[in-house]
């Protein structure tokens, strides 16, 4: 397999991750990355098809063991697998090649093989490398799927599972599985077509504070949120910010309320 640049690997990752399903109403041809529990072999086969269509030459890596992965896309924050699979590419690095894995169900970009294996929680897990044509390494007779009919069936099954989970637990990511990063004042959820207001107090009045509302629930193809900021001078030294958030979609959206100080 010829090696590619890391920039090209990121382009391939972006190509496949852009096919992520809007979780509340997933539809063909989206890929249910946000349902990490199962269906990895269908996701991997479809990703390889998409990459091959733009001239790439991916392979696959299969891992087997007692796998445990933290995930903010499952309500209890933990996914357990007996095995898992994802596409690989060879990335040129200092005159040699290193295997990178493309797995949007686990990462936000291509990662080295050791990183991909390490996050799955079993140091004794075994790896098997195959060509991209292997649809299912472990279960005959479905070893190959040259027409992608089996792939389409797997994707349809887990799109439906994602939709059912959203109906009972709301859309991912699940806020109980997350910690607030620096620069995030709050994590919130706003229902379909709703408008809500949040406030945050005790801010130094002499500072210039910039507020941004960032969707966490992926749904490519349309705007999701808008917001307005109002301010109250609470006393001589402090102010309160009132942020009104509007959901522009017919689906619930999780989001971050971000802030930054302007110089």
Domains of the chain: 6-169 (3.10.620.30), 179-262 (no CATH)
Q: Taking the CA atoms of 151, 102, 86 and 157 in sequence, report the sign of the dihedral they define.
A: negative
Two structure tokens written together for 106:
């686990």
Degrees to nearest 5, angle at CA 57 with 54 and 60:
120
The dihedrals phi and psi of 50, each to the nearest 5 degrees, come to -65, -40
Q: What is the rounded distance in angstroms from the CA atom of residue 157 to the CA atom of residue 246? A: 32
Judged by DSSP in three states, 248 sits in coil
pLDDT of residue 249: 95
pLDDT of residue 95: 76
Q: What is the rounded distance in angstroms from the CA atom of residue 185 to the CA atom of residue 188? A: 10
Helix (H) or strand (E) holding 256: strand 253-262
The list of the chain residues with pLDDT below 70 reads 1
Are 195 and 246 in contact by the 8 Å Cβ rule? The answer is: yes
pLDDT of residue 255: 98
pLDDT of residue 28: 94
pLDDT of residue 93: 80
């Amino acid at each position: 397999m010829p090696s590619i640049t890391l920039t090209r690997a990121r382009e391939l990752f972006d190509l496949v991750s852009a096919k992520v399903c809007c979780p509340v109403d997933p539809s063909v041809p989206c890929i249910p990355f946000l349902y990490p529990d199962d269906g990895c072999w269908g996701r991997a086969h479809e990703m390889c098809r998409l990459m091959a269509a733009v001239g790439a030459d991916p392979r696959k890596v299969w891992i087997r063991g007692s796998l445990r992965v933290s995930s903010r896309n499952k309500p209890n924050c933990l996914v357990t697998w007996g095995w898992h699979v994802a596409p690989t590419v060879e990335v040129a690095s200092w005159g040699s090649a290193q295997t990178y894995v493309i797995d949007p169900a686990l990462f936000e970009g291509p990662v080295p093989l050791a990183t991909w294996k390490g996050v799955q929680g079993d140091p004794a897990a075994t790896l098997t490398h195959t060509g991209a044509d292997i649809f299912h390494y472990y279960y005959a007779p479905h070893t190959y799927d040259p027409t992608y009919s089996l792939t389409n069936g797997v994707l349809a099954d887990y799109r439906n599972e994602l939709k059912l989970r959203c109906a009972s637990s709301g859309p991912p990511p699940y806020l109980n599985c997350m910690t607030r990063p620096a620069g995030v004042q709050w994590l919130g959820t706003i229902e379909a077509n709703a408008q809500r207001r949040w406030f945050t107090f005790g801010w130094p009045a002499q500072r210039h504070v910039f507020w941004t509302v960032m969707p966490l629930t992926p749904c490519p193809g349309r705007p999701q949120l808008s917001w307005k900021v109002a301010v109250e001078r609470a006393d001589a030294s402090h102010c309160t910010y009132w942020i009104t958030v509007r959901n522009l979609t017919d689906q619930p959206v999780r989001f971050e309320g971000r802030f930054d100080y302007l110089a």
